[in-house]
Amino acid sequence: MTEVRLPLTVGLVGLLLTVGFVAIVLRGHDYNPTVLTAIGESDDAIRQYAESRLDDIVLRPQLGHDGRFFFVQANDPWLVNPSENAAVLDRPAYRSQRMLYPVLASAAGLAGPNGIVWGMIIVNVVAMATGAAATAGLAVRLGGSAWWGLAFPLNIGLISEFSIGGAGILAAACAVWGVLQLEKKRWYAGGALLAASSLAREAMLVVAVGAFFWLWTRGRRQSAVKAGGLPLLAVGGWAIYLRLRLPEDTDLVAGNLGAPFLGIWDNMSNWLADPLELAVGVLTIGILGVLVHRAYTTPSLLSWSFVLFAPLAILLTAPVWDGFFNISRAVAPVYTAFVLMVFADRRDEARTVSESVP
């Protein structure tokens, strides 16, 4: 019973924390929800697009952020009329890969523009709460306290993601739920949730690939195919759909990957000039290092599911590593996974105690 009740309690606490955060932000802007849609003053095309559909918009200085793109996508989540909607995006095919968040925020395309703005907030609030519950459930499975589940809503990367109306919270919540289901040997459910995570943010495919290799190398090949195959089918199927709906010259490549370590090196001078940026950069690299070490020395489904964020991180370009706001969002799931592995996973201790009992 504790395995169910405590995670639900942690999820409720996560819900209250997130609602409190939203209330504070909205109160400072006369409860106008567009403040979390992240539309900028310099976003000429998207600003005009939004102003033609919304009565009153809170604009951010200069450029906006991810939420502006998701707002456009949510007005046409199935790309029924891409020439009117997707054409406004900077990279239509790349942005449209991340389809789950706008589909949910728009109630599968049924909501109008004002409903979409609120829908984006509601989806992220629910994702933060359910992510906390899933993390708590995983902590209990690992032999730790359910209260480590608060590592999800207190994750600085996910809080930053909320502030710009991004899809990272939904992606991370689905990933944690997926790993939890795989821990419970619910292979189809786990694979489906990892598929949902990858459709929210394509980089989350690394979780599915890591889980696949963990299961495959341990002889659970049918389970591995279910866990890793469903995400690949979902992402591949949606990519084919995009090619059918969008012009052939649109690009699916993100442009955020480059030579190994180059993004870190290019930002070194900025880090040395700012103690906070240096601390966050070093901490992030350290956490990634611990993750790799754990995956090698004490391998588990959890560590293998998130370890591929390490090679992904060293390939990220300078703009992603430029500032804790960007890099913390890019590798946000790693922070929560780190807390679970280091503080919540007590299975080795339990084995040691049981073996020492005569």
- Percentage of the chain surpassing pLDDT 90? 74
Q: Which amino acid is residue 263, in one-letter code?
A: G
CA distance 103 to 41: 26
Closest CA to 334 of 262, 297, 298, 280: 280
Give me the mean pLDDT over the 130-145 stretch. 95
pTM over 0.85: yes
Evaluate if residue 351 carries a pLDDT over 50. no
Reported as a pLDDT band with limits 50, 70 and 90, residue 348 is low
End-to-end, the C-alpha distance of the chain in Å comes to 30
The predicted-structure confidence for 201-252, as pLDDT tens digits, reads as follows: 999 999 999 999 999 999 999 999 999 999 999 999 999 999 999 976 555 5
- Percentage of the chain surpassing pLDDT 70? 93
Give me the mean pLDDT over the 191-199 stretch. 98
* DSSP H or E segment with residue 39: strand 39-40
The predicted-structure confidence for 280-292, as pLDDT tens digits, reads as follows: 888 999 999 999 9
CA distance 336 to 324: 16
- Range with the lowest mean pLDDT among 84-88, 168-172, 234-238, 316-320? 316-320
Q: Is residue 241 a contact partner of residue 234, using CB atoms and an 8 Å limit? A: no
User: Which residues, in sequence order, are bridge partners of residue 257?
Assistant: 316
CA distance 154 to 138: 16
Residues 6+ apart with CB under 8 A from 344: 138, 139, 142, 143, 144, 145, 148
pLDDT at 154: 97
The predicted-structure confidence for 113-133, as pLDDT tens digits, reads as follows: 999 999 999 999 999 999 999
